[in-house]
Amino acid sequence: MENMQLLYESLEDKLQECPDTSGAGQAVVLFRLALEVASNDLGMASAVHLMSRLLSTTLGIMSDEEAVGYEEILHDFETKDQTPN
């Protein structure tokens, strides 16, 4: 999780360097990058499933569900420690 926080902070700093790009524009760029990175690692279908889970989790957080968090999603999709079939 520490590496993810460092990545988050690095990306946040990079976005600060682009003040002329709207928040929506930055979100589109980040989504595109996230989809490309995830699909390279997981395949497109699993990457899209991951994006769907992230959206559902965000909606749960917005509705104040207590047992909702992004960390649980990571365990379902983490591939670095898995051995190929």
Structure confidence at residue 82 as a pLDDT band (50, 70, 90): low
The share of the chain scoring above pLDDT 90, in percent, equals 62
Number of domains in the chain: 1
- Give pTM, 2 decimals: 0.75
Rounded to 5 degrees, what are φ and ψ at 25? -65, -40
Whole domain around residue 9: which residue ranges?
Answer: 2-77
Q: Which residue has the higher pLDDT, 67 or 40?
A: 40
Tell me, yes or no, whether 82 lies in a domain.
no
**Which parts of the chain fold into alpha helices (H)?**
2-16, 23-42, 44-62, 70-77
Local confidence band at 67 (pLDDT 50, 70, 90 cut-offs): confident
CA angle 39, 44, 47 (to 5 degrees): 65
Query: In this structure, is residue 39 part of a structural domain?
Result: yes
81 has pLDDT over 60: no
